[in-house]
Amino acid sequence: MHVKNGVRRTDTQDWDQELAVEQAFSKVNQTIERMLKLHQHTDSLETMNRQLASDTAAFRDARPAPPVAEEGQIFVTSADCKGVVIRGQATKTVCGGERLG
Per-residue b/e over 19-33, b at no fewer than 16 CB within 10 Å?
bbeeeebeebbbebe
How far is 84 from 26, CA to CA, in rounded Å?
22
pLDDT > 90 in the chain, percent: 14
Partners of 7 in beta bridges: 4
pLDDT for position 30: 94
How many Cβ atoms from other residues are within 10 Å of residue 6's Cβ? 8
pLDDT for position 11: 81
pLDDT for position 68: 84
How far is 43 from 40, CA to CA, in rounded Å?
8
On whether the CB atoms of residues 23 and 31 are closer than 8 A, the answer is yes
Domain extents in the chain = 3-62
Residue-wise pLDDT for 29-62, tens only, equals: 999 999 988 888 899 899 988 888 888 889 989 9
On whether the CB atoms of residues 2 and 9 are closer than 8 A, the answer is yes
Say if pTM beats, i.e. exceeds, 0.75: no
